[in-house]
Amino acid sequence: MTTRHQPIRHQPSGAANIDIEAALAEVREQFVARNPESRKQHEAACAVMPGGNTRSVLFYAPFPLVIAEGRGCRVRDADGHDYVDFLGEYTAGLFGHSHPVIRAAIDRALDAGINLAGHNLLEAKLARAVCERFPSIDLVRFTNSGTEANLMAVATAVVATGRSKVLVFKGGYHGGLLSFGGGASRLNAPYDLVIGTYNDVAEAERLVAAHGPELAAVLVEPMLGSGGCIPGTAEFLGALRAGATRHGALLIFDEVMTSRLAPGGLQEALDIRPDLTTLGKYIGGGMSFGAFGGREDLMALYDPRRPDALQHAGTFNNNVLTMAAGHAGLTEIFTPAAVQALNQRGDDLRQQLNRLCRKHEACLEFTGIGSLMTAHFSSTPVRSPADAAAGDQRLKELFFFDMLDRGIYLARRAMMALSLEIGDAECAAMVDAVEDFLVSRRSLLASRGGSA
């Protein structure tokens, strides 16, 4: 990708620091002026999609950037601005944009024909790679998204236990139909849900005991991903494991995001074995992907050789592009050594960023594990979704636009997911950009907590 424009460096202005609202008004105005083509594309899209959008997370005001192309760890927007991509497609872009090994695998699959209407030569290879990588997964089935994987896992638990209730947690996100950030979504699937507080051990134990005989499953992310990269504590997750076992419920770990954090997933690092695990994102090599798997006796319910087999359909469950890209990604690129190196890089970066925040006495903290992190504007430590929600969301918006100005692409909610293409130079650029932000916005960042 040739560089047509260097990222514009934001010039700290005294006027911008007068107050947050004034600073926000200024950055929004600059954003509009810089991005006429994105605006035009957005306005045209509004005629055919509600709000010009088919994926809610991508929208932000005044209008979202339209990304025209990506190479390696860089993306270019429709107006020709280049960014270092620290968003990594919300964790699905772990291999960067068009990794040659992935691309070659997809090309080979294309050469053999798309949509073969039969078992193909690739699906069992990817399944084997997944089962070998995640020891709690004896058997696996593929879906087309993480959402579908979680719906299937919960449905499996309901059928296997003959019970109806599912314990989930505020701040959790398991897909568009099982979403608990800022309260349960009105779109949620009609399961009999019990909603607890993430990382509240005593409450979790109480809820499991109170609903025990009716509890089919406990569904939890071992680290909240979209909820703010908030790690589950060992006590909390351990209590869920023990409670589920005690009461005959199934523990489902949603590792759609977190499976990249250790060679065997975050469950390996935590030394907790769930009954079922859901996967998604990068495991399809960047193609549409989801999977659920786990204990052999549970997954055997889907064995079509059984007369009473559960039916799990899905035209694209074994699509050759995903199977090929996923297998190449897991076996040739994201080896256990690569998992370790990527997450070490992420840990180092997060520690460096947090050191800077402390040096500048700013109300900013980067939470997360390894290659996943989120910036929170709070003067008290962020250890729960409630802590994250209490942070200053206006500063988060300011951070987002200021980072864009400095050529750093990240989620509007200030989440970052390092891809394998991010190297030392990109991490140094991120550190410089954050320090620049801390200096230029100093007067807005001093120990401020809670949205005004």
Ligand X SMILES: Cc1ncc(COP(=O)(O)O)c(C=O)c1O
Name the site residues for ligand X (rule: CB under 6 A).
Answer: 90, 145-147, 150, 173-175, 221, 225-226, 254, 256-257, 280, 290
Question: Rounded to the nearest whole angstrom, what is the least distance from the CB of residue 441 to ligand X in the complex?
Answer: 29
Position with the least CB separation from ligand X = 146
CA distance 408 to 434: 10
Between 120 and 226, CB nearer to ligand X: 226
Between 257 and 438, CB nearer to ligand X: 257
Residue 389 neighbours by CB distance under 10 Å: 19
- Dihedral sign from CA coordinates of 58, 64, 69, 71: negative
Between 180 and 366, CB nearer to ligand X: 180
In Å, what is the CA distance from 140 to each residue of 102, 125, 126, 221? Answer: 22, 12, 10, 19
- Dihedral sign from CA coordinates of 243, 245, 249, 253: positive
Between 282 and 334, CB nearer to ligand X: 282
Question: Rounded to the nearest whole angstrom, what is the least distance from the CB of residue 258 to ligand X in the complex?
Answer: 7
CA distance 395 to 244: 40
What contacts 24+ positions apart, CB below 8 Å, involve 124-127?
125/323, 125/327, 126/322, 126/323, 126/326, 126/327, 126/330
Question: Rounded to the nearest whole angstrom, what is the least distance from the CB of residue 176 to ligand X in the complex?
Answer: 7
What residue has token string 């204990």? 295
Question: Rounded to the nearest whole angstrom, what is the least distance from the CB of residue 217 to ligand X in the complex?
Answer: 15
Between 171 and 175, CB nearer to ligand X: 175
Between 171 and 407, CB nearer to ligand X: 171
Supply 53's token pair: 């959008």
Those residues whose C-beta lies under 8 Å from the C-beta of residue 103, and which sit 6 or more positions away, are none
Question: Rounded to the nearest whole angstrom, what is the least distance from the CB of residue 89 to ligand X in the complex?
Answer: 10
Between 154 and 382, CB nearer to ligand X: 154
N residues, the chain: 452
Question: Rounded to the nearest whole angstrom, what is the least distance from the CB of residue 197 to ligand X in the complex?
Answer: 18
Question: Rounded to the nearest whole angstrom, what is the least distance from the CB of residue 57 to ligand X in the complex?
Answer: 8
